[in-house]
Amino acid sequence: MTLKVQDLDIIYPVDGGDLVACQNISLSVQPGEFVTVIGPSGCGKSTLLHAMGGMLRPTRGTVEADGTVITGPDPRKAAFVFQDYSLLPWKTVIQNVEIGLIFAGSTKKDARRIAVEKLERVGLAGYRDMYPRQLSGGMQQRVAVARALALEPEYLLMDEPFGALDEQTRRALGVDLGERLSKSGRGVVLITHSLEEAVYWADRVIVLSSRPGRIVKEIQVHGDRPRPLEFMTTEGFTEVRAELFSLIESGSSQEIA
């Protein structure tokens, strides 16, 4: 399933006029592709992601999945992982993972089987009966990823999922989940403020301008995934990171050829 954004505008009505969050954005994400999106704060990254997942209606343009216009959320097509883990504190790890399946109509037996499988995939099979408060931040984020994967979405949409974690945990979790998600074959779109994350994870990096957010450049990142941590020491990584740094620091809202 190809996820396609075509001529997207998102405009919010505000006092005194309209606020243009995203303007004239067109992009596509292929099955199994990992795309990261970066840009200055307030440039519309999260707005774009929400529109891609059907949580926001475009003011103009469309979001399509294999040619069918997305008109609302469908976790079987695109599931979200947010910085706020949004786990239910009164439920165990495995209950948090299976709850979406139960709401979607799965039997308790099937939901439990799938939840166990997804917890194994993110390396938390041994923590199934613990509660969120008993887990570290990185482990809670793994639970959130497992919950999203449980619905077998075509795409995973991740909005600053590691923003609340310390640098060491971010890197360790990024290496591990990067490997697991690469093997899953799902398309992933990741919003991040971290240039290192943007390059390390991605097949392709989308750079947005300051508001109104427009695509100023798409950069291909060469190198097979999953990548070892040593990838961050390579010349290719350094060159792409330097280019991203220059683009973000310039703050230009003009399209770059």
How confident is the model over 155-167, as pLDDT tens digits?
999 998 877 677 7
Taking residues 75-83, what's their average pLDDT? 86
- Three-state secondary-structure class, residue 182: helix
Contacts of 28 (CB under 8 A, 6+ apart): 2, 3, 4, 5
Query: How sure is the predictor about 251, in pLDDT bands with cuts at 50, 70 and 90?
Result: low
pLDDT at 177 over 80: no
Complete edge-to-edge strand list for the sheet that includes strand 204-208: 78-82, 155-159, 187-191, 34-38, 204-208, 215-220
pLDDT at 257 over 90: no
At 206-230, the pLDDT tens digits run 999 998 999 999 999 998 888 888 9
Contacts of 221 (CB under 8 A, 6+ apart): 199, 202, 203, 204, 205, 236, 240
pLDDT at 69 over 90: yes
- What are the tokens at 88? 């239910």
pLDDT at 9 over 80: yes
pLDDT at 129 over 90: yes
- Which helix or strand (DSSP H or E) is residue 19 part of? strand 17-29
Check residue 15 and give its pLDDT: 84
Give the chain's largest Cα–Cα span.
Answer: 55
- Which helix or strand (DSSP H or E) is residue 189 part of? strand 187-191
Compare 75 and 245 and report the one with higher pLDDT. 245
Query: How sure is the predictor about 92, in pLDDT bands with cuts at 50, 70 and 90?
Result: very high
What domains can be seen in the chain, in order of their start residue?
3-77+155-250 (3.40.50.300), 87-152 (no CATH)
Check residue 256 and give its pLDDT: 38
Asked if residue 189 lies in contact with residue 29, where contact means CB atoms within 8 angstroms, the answer is yes
Taking residues 19-30, what's their average pLDDT? 94
Check residue 185 and give its pLDDT: 79
pLDDT at 254 over 70: no
Q: What percent of the chain clears pLDDT 90, i.e. is strictly above it? A: 54
Burial of 66 (0-12, 13-18, 19+ CB in 10 A): exposed
pLDDT at 35 over 50: yes
CA atoms of 10 and 213, how far apart (whole Å): 9
Asked if residue 2 lies in contact with residue 65, where contact means CB atoms within 8 angstroms, the answer is yes
- What are the tokens at 77? 């097509």
- What are the tokens at 9? 């505008």
Query: How sure is the predictor about 122, in pLDDT bands with cuts at 50, 70 and 90?
Result: confident
Check residue 172 and give its pLDDT: 74
